[in-house]
Amino acid sequence: MATRKVLTINIEFELADRKASPKRLNAVYDAAVKSATDAATRELLEGGVAEVRHRMTFDYRWADQTSTTPIGDYEDWADDEPATNDAD
């Protein structure tokens, strides 16, 4: 039996300096979920999507204070060898 896999996609919208009502935010969320679900079912093989789980979070932070810290060079990851158990 094949191992089930999970594809996670994060979408972050940086909002302008305008008020966004909960009704509008929910409409954007619903549209984003529908769009992603439609794309996945269209692009993957038939029956390729078993379940879709989604959630919306809303937090306040200064967008210009958000940063990404790289962990390493992604090109080097392909050369990594699997961990071995020396106890064997």
Q: pTM of the full predicted structure? A: 0.62
Give the lowest-confidence range in 13-17, 32-36, 50-54: 13-17
Please answer whether residues 36 and 51 qualify as being in contact, where contact means their C-beta atoms are separated by less than 8 angstroms. no
- If one counts every other C-beta atom within 10 angstroms of the C-beta of residue 10, the result is 4
Q: Average the pLDDT over 22-41 and give the result.
A: 94
Please answer whether residues 40 and 7 qualify as being in contact, where contact means their C-beta atoms are separated by less than 8 angstroms. yes
Structure tokens, 59: 């937090």
